[in-house]
Amino acid sequence: MNSKKALITGITGQDGSYLSRLLLEKGYEVIGLTRGLSESSTKNLQYLVIDSQIQLDVCDLTDLSNVLHVIQKYQPNEVYNLAAQSSVGKSFEQPIGTISFNIVSVLNILESIKIIDKNIKFYQASTSEMYGKVEDLPINEESRIHPLSPYAVSKASAHWITVNYRESYGIKAWSGILFNHESYLRTKNYFVKKVITNSIEIANNKRKTLKVGNIDIKRDFGYSPDYVNAIWLMLQQNNPDDFVVCSGKSISLREIIEYVFNKFSIPMSKLELDYNLYRPTDIQDIYGDNSKSKQKLGWSYNKSFNEVLDLLIEEELKNYI
């Protein structure tokens, strides 16, 4: 039997790396698309010791002919689109670049699948950010979409494009609406990673304070290595659909800081509020309902966020120099 072939965009990011590891364990041939082939860009794959098992290719996802060529060349069974400009903060600084890349890349992949082979299964990485201002919690697949940042606007558009290709052309396209999910592979501009790395530096007298913005907002946080399992499970279904992937609970950013500071015996006086880090629009509380993913996909997720924080702290300390 021939093994399945998966094409992953954004393969060098957090989810792309953990998804690659999962697919390799399941016997897939994994091809990764990247903007450039530098040593630094593959550091996550190297960290998971899977870089030698993956075939990387350069592709400009904003160029339809480029995308057509790559899909024709590899003839994948499954395409996982994880590539995006994914920083909410950066999207306010670079709205045009964020919106154009995050929308055109999705359109080009779906159009290529429509032209080449409609049997290719497609996964679109959607996000809880696209719901924005929500009156009723928890959020589920039917909740109203009201994006509050250029990033969220771009992902909401990409989400509806995915639904449109599914309904108009019969493309086998799934959309995974993932809430915040963390891991050691997060970059330092993400809140939880920043809190942990800065706390280690404070504990080692290499930093005086932790500078943060609004910490009285609450978010639904999970663990990336577990969330990628839900992504894979979607494309093993017969009927394309949208699925919320979340923990089902929210925790305030202040609680996260208190938990991590407590682990390192750091007093709260080391916390510094920086109003320059506040966002133009911020949602007070957001958490999701993962019952559809659990029932239809058979996905299970039971970690408390304190358990996740313990895992992240342990791995960060193991790699701290």
174: helix, strand or coil: strand
Question: If you write DSSP's letter for every residue of 124-136 in order, what string do you get?
Answer: EEEEGGGG-S-SS
Question: If you write DSSP's letter for every residue of 63-79 in order, what string do you get?
Answer: -HHHHHHHHHHH--SEE
Sorted by sequence, the CB contacts under 8 Å of residue 187 that are 6+ apart come out as 193
Q: Is 151 part of the annotated catalytic residue set?
A: yes
Q: For the chain, what is the largest distance between any 2 Cα atoms, rounded to a whole number of angstroms? A: 61
Q: How far apart are the first and last CA of the chain?
A: 46
- Give me the residue label for tokens 């989810």: 15
103 neighbors 154 (Cβ within 8 angstroms): yes
The residues facing 218 across adjacent strands are 252, 285
Q: How far is CA 120 from CA 69, 75, 232, in A?
A: 15, 8, 14
CA 182 – CA 309 distance, rounded (Å): 9
In this structure, the strands spanning 173-178 and 121-127 are parallel
Which candidate in 151, 165, 223, 287 is catalytic? 151
Which candidate in 12, 28, 34, 129 is catalytic? 129
Q: Identity (one letter) of the amino acid at 206? A: K
Q: Is 320 part of the annotated catalytic residue set?
A: no
Which candidate in 127, 131, 165, 182 is catalytic? 127
In this structure, the strands spanning 5-9 and 121-127 are unpaired
- Give me the residue label for tokens 């924080």: 309
Going by C-alpha positions, the residue among 57, 84, 61 that lies closest to residue 73 is 57
Q: Is 127 part of the annotated catalytic residue set?
A: yes
Instruction: Give residue 44's Cα distance to chain centre.
Output: 14
Q: Which residues are catalytic?
A: 127, 129, 151
